[in-house]
């Protein structure tokens, strides 16, 4: 399966799994020549085809495709520039994780094995306006040791080595956000031992290292 196919499949999964709504959110993948294939702006995921995808150069300029690229393309470009090991970026608006983003509260690594997939607590990036280069830089600042971050008052950004694994990680983050939210209603979430998260987060960082 080509990276174009993987990006399209992940975009459709993002909607199917209720990790975004409508035409919001966006998925990208890094191609072998360093260019980036990304979903277009304002196209329904259910009807989106390979022909709708757009290819950008390393600076974010369109080099292939007839559609307008996602309005959050600079978030994707910033992550690829900062992290050579990252091969896919997903920006989404899952409900529970976005609640934490609006509250500007990190999602704690409170569930066993969460850190294996994410690296640790999901931090909140400093607020910047949607579509701005500052938003991308603020997001990348948070993704050095973890794979997902919250965009303040906005949503999520996730990085991984493939679109499929990025979608899986995003699902782990959203499910954890829902569980922690519910646990707090029940009286509070208990922290995992720091040694557990350090060990499991170490596995994440080891797997993420550039090959």
Q: Which residues are known to be catalytic?
A: 72
β-bridge partners, 49: none
Tell me phi and psi for residue 139, to 5 degrees.
-65, -50
Residues with Cβ within 8 Å of residue 137, at least 6 apart in sequence: 78, 128
β pairing state of 62-64 and 155-160 = unpaired
Alpha carbons 126 and 142: distance in angstroms, whole number: 9
Tokens of 45: 């995921």
Tell me phi and psi for residue 202, to 5 degrees.
-65, -35
Q: Specify whether the CB–CB gap between 53 and 38 falls below 8 A.
A: yes
Q: Which helix (H) or strand (E) holds 79?
A: helix 73-82
Query: What is the 3-class SS of 142-178, one letter each residue?
Result: CCCCCCEEEECCCEEEEEECCHHHHHHHHHHHHHHHH
């Amino acid at each position: 399966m080509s990276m174009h196919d993987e990006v399209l499949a992940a975009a459709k999964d993002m909607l199917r799994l209720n990790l975004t709504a409508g035409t919001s959110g966006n998925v990208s993948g890094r191609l072998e020549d360093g260019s980036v294939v990304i979903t277009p702006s304002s196209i329904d995921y259910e009807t989106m085809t390979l022909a709708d995808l757009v290819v950008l150069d390393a600076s974010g300029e369109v080099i292939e495709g007839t559609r307008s690229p996602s309005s959050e393309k600079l978030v994707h470009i910033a992550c690829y520039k900062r992290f050579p090991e990252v091969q896919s970026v997903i920006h989404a608006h899952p409900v529970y994780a976005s609640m934490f983003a609006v509250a500007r509260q990190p999602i704690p690594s409170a569930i066993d094995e969460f850190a294996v997939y994410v690296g640790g607590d999901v931090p909140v990036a400093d607020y910047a306006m949607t579509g701005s280069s500052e938003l991308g830089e603020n997001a990348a600042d948070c993704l050095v040791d973890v794979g997902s971050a919250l965009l303040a008052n906005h949503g999520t950004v996730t990085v991984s080595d493939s679109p499929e694994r990025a979608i899986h990680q995003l699902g782990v983050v959203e499910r954890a956000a829902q569980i922690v939210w519910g646990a707090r209603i029940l009286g509070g979430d208990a922290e995992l031992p720091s040694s557990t998260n350090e060990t499991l987060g170490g596995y994440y960082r080891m797997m993420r290292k550039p090959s």
